[in-house]
Amino acid sequence: MKKNVIVSLYFATQMLLVLILSPVFDVSAADTSADDTSADVVIYGGTSAAVTAAVQVKQMGKSVVIVCPDQHLGGLTSGGLGWTDTGNKEVIGGLARDFYHRVYLEYEKPGAWKWQSKDSYGNKGQGNVAIDGANRTQWIFEPHVAEKVFDDYVREYAIPVFRDHWLDRSAGVEVAGGKILSIRTLRGKTFRGKIFLDATYEGDLMAAAGVPYHVGRESSDTYGENWNGVQTGVLHHQHHFGDLPKISPYKIPGDPASGVLPLISPDPPGEKGAGDHRVQAYCFRMCLTNHPDNRVPFAKPAGYDASQYELLARIYEAGWDATFRKFDPIPNRKTDTNNHGPLSTDNIGFNYDYPDASYERRREIIGQHETYQKGWLYFHTTDSRVPKKIRDEMRSWGLAADEFKDNGNWPNQIYVREARRMKGQYVMTENELQKRRPTPKSVGMGSYSIDSHNVQRYIKPDGYVQNEGDIGVSTNGPYQISYDSLVPKKSDCQNLLVPVCVSSSHIAFGSIRMEPVFMILGQSAATAAVMAIQSDIAVQDVDYDALKKKLSDDGQVLEFHGAKSTAASGLKLDAFSGTVIDDASAKLSGNWQTSHANAPHFMDGYVHDGNVQKGDSIAKFDLRLDSGTYDVQMAFPPNQNRATNVPVQIKHSDGVANVSVNQRETPPIDGTFISLGKYRFDENQSAAVVISNRSTDGYVVVDAIRFVPLK
């Protein structure tokens, strides 16, 4: 007892000194002592989940420390992913929503608009005032603004953060009696706690504590899923070669003896539905700008080799022209630039060993990705094989000089879309996300589509190149996430919670992995941690009814019964029935522009043709359906500036149907969808809906297509 009192007094004294001496309560930069630090809850990781978890612990009156292997807080949220993947914003509550409210407040400050006027940016990414009330939200933002909000949390709640402290993964986790007693970093610092949270993207603490986990894709049979495992023949987004002329993977086109081009695997892809070791491709979410006074031109990276991009040159030769489709505009004339296209910023196939790799090997992998991506940019600005129009456009862009200033204006965090996933008390699968099976013990909700990026680029049996692993499937509305997916089995560890590398299948993680969800789960995990401490019980034994009440009282959304009529999107829950494909999953060619100015609309917005270049813009929705008859429906927000004669083509098992749609009139189905007719589809043939702006008399809008099965 005396020892505990002494330790507590020591800890309190240390924290008081830090608070006095440091304006942001950051104790890491100068801390090289080997003295133990103790707290009720020890959080390993510096992600958005780590910060919300720490805030929640402090709000519940317990001590907490963040042991951060990074120099910057916030992970991807402050690392370039400013175009937030939200899904249905109504299910984002608690501290996650508070974060986006604080971002909104930052942009209400006049000094926030240095490179662009607030009026010229408009209200892009803002929540609906009828929903938010006084707590307005902003869902699109610059990296440094997000980091400021996270640092403000740390300062406001006096949370000690030990930055640049990397877990000793080989011998730094002390476990006894089924509990973690302490963790030690490579700097020799030991942290003791009652409950531990692993809030890293990699799951390093979880793995070092001996908790079972999975890396790669399970087979579709493992959990009875439709979209897990190898997905040969499945083409969802524009991240493949399906609409281009066939492209040879060989150095001399058509000659296998000449060798395979870089960035293409010579290995067979595996059987459809089979499990493998492959994980989603990684990239950096780059913050670019075209403002001449803030633009840093793309430089030639060390080790640049133009021949590495021969496949990209062939893609352009084949007619690809959608390079800038995912230069999503964030405030101050900047972008959140994401992967888009057959060969884009995702470095497909070069990250398989990252989840279990040593720190040294991970740095190599991250460096390879940085070189690849910087080379991709440089190739676009300098190589004559890139069409001149695209080359000139890329030259107008550069890195933002006022972002990531301590890292050469390059993002601090690589996008680890998937690494380890815990094998916990409950495994979240596609079946829970699509509501084919109820989810027990909800502690938060997700709603973004099931989204997996490609995992490999291979050679098809016909001798041409193809990407594989890309999935974009609706969850049919918001879904619940189980508390038991945040905790290990009791026999594995009794005082650990894992709000990021949650217990889920590969395909379910494709939706759960969104940053707002991580913030939600961080808060919920922290709540359970404090309740376990208060009752002196294992995290697996926390009373769910009490946990549910506390989470609800703190603003977490644990269940959803349909959208409010005043929602920003305006959609009702019925809009998610059937199979819904959003415009983000359409194959777009021509002059499409993103917007969310009119409601109702599906997900985060829609695209329109700008009422220009008639006949040049085409949107194609392509998928495979189970055999049967479906009512094919089209969603769009009506307006008097819309076209009255939008040509829509439906390709079905019995042929092709052509329909003309008047987008000035309100769609008759829930004010959202209009029926294009009932058609039969075969699972062995692709189903397709093609929308164009040929000879149209107004703006053409593309939002979503829904296939409703008929009995």
pLDDT digits (tens, 9 = 90+) for 534-544: 999 999 999 99
Instruction: Average the pLDDT over each of 171-175, 570-574, 578-582 and give the range with the smallest value.
Output: 570-574
Degrees to nearest 5, angle at CA 463 with 461 and 468: 65
pLDDT of residue 591: 84
Degrees to nearest 5, angle at CA 373 with 370 and 378: 120
Asked if 591 contacts 702 with a C-beta cutoff of 8 angstroms, the reply is no
Per-residue pLDDT reduced to its tens digit, 118-172: 999 988 888 877 678 889 999 999 999 999 999 999 999 999 999 999 999 999 9
The answer to whether residue 583 is domain-embedded is: yes
CA gap 189, 200 in Å, rounded: 18
Strands 687-692 and 579-582, bridge-based pairing: unpaired
Q: What is the CATH number of the domain that holds 622?
A: 2.60.120.260
pLDDT(568) > 70: no
pLDDT of residue 27: 61
The answer to whether residue 249 is domain-embedded is: no
The answer to whether residue 562 is domain-embedded is: no
Asked if 667 contacts 635 with a C-beta cutoff of 8 angstroms, the reply is yes
Structure tokens at 190: 């030991």
Count of residues in the chain = 711
- Give me the residue label for tokens 């819904």: 580
Asked if 572 contacts 589 with a C-beta cutoff of 8 angstroms, the reply is no
Instruction: Average the pLDDT over each of 291-305, 313-327, 577-591 and give the range with the smallest value.
Output: 577-591
pLDDT(217) > 90: yes
pLDDT(3) > 50: no
User: pLDDT band for position 33 (50/70/90)?
Assistant: low
Per-residue pLDDT reduced to its tens digit, 77-110: 999 999 999 989 999 999 999 999 999 999 999 8
CA gap 79, 340 in Å, rounded: 19
pLDDT of residue 336: 98
pLDDT(243) > 80: no
Structure tokens at 90: 């109504």
pLDDT of residue 588: 87
Domain of 660 in residue numbering reads as 573-709
CA gap 709, 711 in Å, rounded: 7
pLDDT of residue 16: 39
Per-residue pLDDT reduced to its tens digit, 405-444: 999 999 999 999 999 999 999 999 999 999 999 999 999 9
User: pLDDT band for position 599 (50/70/90)?
Assistant: confident
The answer to whether residue 224 is domain-embedded is: no
The answer to whether residue 595 is domain-embedded is: yes
CA gap 476, 582 in Å, rounded: 12
Domain boundary among 142, 172, 202: 142
Average pLDDT (655-673) is: 91
pLDDT(7) > 50: no
Domain count, the chain: 2
**606 bridge partner residues:** 595
A 10 A CB-CB count for 426 gives: 20
Asked if 247 contacts 454 with a C-beta cutoff of 8 angstroms, the reply is no
The answer to whether residue 287 is domain-embedded is: no
Per-residue pLDDT reduced to its tens digit, 371-407: 999 999 999 999 999 999 999 999 999 999 999 999 9
Mention every residue, 6+ apart, whose C-beta is less than 8 A from residue 337: 285, 286, 287, 288, 326, 327, 328, 345
Structure tokens at 106: 């930052």
**Of all helices (H) and strands (E), which one includes residue 480?**
strand 479-482
Mention every residue, 6+ apart, whose C-beta is less than 8 A from residue 170: 208
**Of all helices (H) and strands (E), which one includes residue 359?**
helix 359-382
A 10 A CB-CB count for 303 gives: 12
> What's the gap between Cα 29 and its chain centre?
30
Domain boundary among 108, 123, 142: 142
pLDDT of residue 569: 42
Domain boundary among 120, 142, 164: 142
The answer to whether residue 51 is domain-embedded is: no
pLDDT(39) > 80: yes
Give the mean pLDDT of the chain.
91
The answer to whether residue 679 is domain-embedded is: yes
